[in-house]
Amino acid sequence: MRKIIVSFLVMFLLTITSSQIAFSQTTVIFKPNANIGKDANLFTKDYSNFADLNFGYEDVVKMNCWTWSGDFFIQRSLIKFEELSSIPTGAIITDVKLRLYGVNSTYADANSVYSGSSFNEYSNSVYVQRIASAWDESTVTWNTQPTTSTINQITIPESGSQYNWNYTIENSSELNTMVQDMVSNPSTNHGFMLRLINEALYRRMIFCSSDNSDSTRWPELQVTYLYNDTCNSNFSYSMPNALDPTTLTFNANVDAGQHIWRYGSQSLSTASSFTHTFNPTNECKELSHEVIDTNGNCSTSINLYICNTNQDTTSIEEVNSMSNAEIIISPNPSKDFWNVSINSKEKLRAEIIIRDALGKVVLMDEKNIYIGENNISINGKNFNKGIYILEIKGKGINYSQKLIKQ
């Protein structure tokens, strides 16, 4: 069962005033986790419906052209740093660094170009392009992918190793220009698309996404900017515990001065930084941060929505519609492996998908099913404890069953 408990909708309404002109330099680093970060893979594959599926919750971003059971496929990826909206629109961007981190050796798929690889003749260089239209991490597909611009596009060179290959885009006037426009015009910040320069066979480059279990490998954007902060009330916020989305930490950009934080009519704090746990209600209130110092009085506010959405509940029902096969799963519950026994009346090809309770795809595969008994082993050792949904689809098969990981 998937249940949305708390939702956040944040819109910055900058209302900054000042009495003098005094520019200062600020450097911020955005390294969002799965709750804040926005990234997704786009996937198209011959003879499948992958182009209509969403892959917004994978722990890697893939730029990939390969074959799967003999069928050609392409993958691209999208990354967006929404926290750029916390930088004042009048800021002057002086330096930007985009850091991407490679996967470790536990991943079956990795970079295709490295010393000793048999695929070195196939360049896996990647374009980083600015996205020109809106997209949603939870719904975007290959067939609905956003448009991009080749203006100021950046090239990531061929990978230097199979695993743990990190790459930083720095000293790039193109990246600075793209981020400057995203900051100056927040409505145009749709992020970046990463795609192979040559989308032909046997080329792959992979980095970790904001959904990765290793927080040190999340994509990272470092921005240095100049801003008139004679009276600077801007602030950032973060979620210290992903399991508790109602607790947020707020940090003023400047410590100096008297700070007044309010949520609606409630006074929250007079410190420059603090952590607060909100009680979800059906009201949506404004959170404001006021600063009083020797240079004047200024205030920045956001509309922070922390609302119950209990009516937004979705259940994934178990389905058992089969005319061509009988399916038995054992053991269930299981601590590590499930055996899926499919007794088929004819030869067919089946798609196997496992989703977690939030609908995130955690495993996807295709199998040839032959007449008679077929046994498929599903490795759940790396799954967290909880409930998963197994889907099996093919000719005459539309099957869905809950799996329990102990």
> How much is the pLDDT for 315?
34
pLDDT at 23: 61
CATH number (2.60.40.2550, 3.40.47.10, 3.40.50.2000, 3.30.1490.20) of 320-405 reads: 2.60.40.2550
Closest-CA residue to 7 (of 401, 306, 332): 306
Which residue ranges in the chain fall short of pLDDT 70? 1-23, 228-231, 242-245, 280-284, 293-324, 357-359
Please report the pLDDT score of residue 304 as a whole number.
57
Give the predicted TM-score (pTM) of the model: 0.57
Judge contact between 311 and 276, C-beta under 8 A.
Answer: no
Q: So what CATH class is 24-227? A: mainly beta
Distance CA 344, CA 346 (A): 6
| CATH, domain 231-308, list 2.60.40.10, 3.30.1330.20, 3.40.30.10, 3.40.190.10 | 2.60.40.10
Residues of each domain in the chain carrying CATH 2.60.40.2550:
320-405
203 touches 65 (CB < 8 A)? yes
Residue ranges of the chain assigned to CATH 2.60.40.10: 231-308
Q: Which two tokens stand for residue 124?
A: 């896996």
Handedness of CA 361, 214, 236, 243 (dihedral sign): positive
d(CA 400, CA 406): 19
336-to-79, 381, 382, 383 alpha-carbon distances in Å: 33, 4, 8, 8
Confidence (pLDDT) at 358: 56
Which of 15, 175, 191 lies closest to 89, judged by CA? Answer: 15
And the tokens for 118? 């048999």
Of the candidates 80, 30, 296, the one whose C-alpha atom is nearest the C-alpha of residue 193 is 80
Cα–Cα distance for residue pair 304/10, rounded to 1 Å: 5
| Predicted pLDDT of residue 75 | 98
pLDDT, tens digit, 9 for 90 and up, residues 135-176? 999 999 999 999 999 999 999 999 999 999 999 999 999 999
Question: Which residue in 151, 116, 145 sits closest to 130, CA to CA?
Answer: 151
Q: How far is CA 135 from the centre of its chain?
A: 12
The CA-CA-CA angle for residues 241, 246, 247, to 5°, reads 50
What are 280-286's contacts with CB under 8 Å, separation 24+?
280/5, 280/6, 280/246, 280/306, 280/307, 280/308, 281/306, 281/307, 281/308, 282/307, 282/308, 283/307, 284/9
Nearest to 156 by CA among 185, 193, 189: 193
| Distance, CA of 202 to CA of 199 (rounded, Å) | 9
How far is the C-alpha of 257 from the C-alpha of 289, rounded, in Å?
12
For residue range 28-63, what is the model confidence (pLDDT) as tens digits?
A: 999 999 888 999 999 999 999 999 999 999 999 999
Opening angle at CA 404, ends 400 and 406, nearest 5: 165
First to last CA, the chain: 17
Residues of the chain with CATH 2.60.120: 24-227
Give the model's pLDDT for residue 1.
Answer: 28
User: Is the CB of residue 140 less than 8 Å from the CB of residue 58?
Assistant: no
Helix ranges, 98-172 (H): none
Residue 148 · residue 132 · CB < 8 Å: yes
231 phi, psi to nearest 5 deg: -135, 100
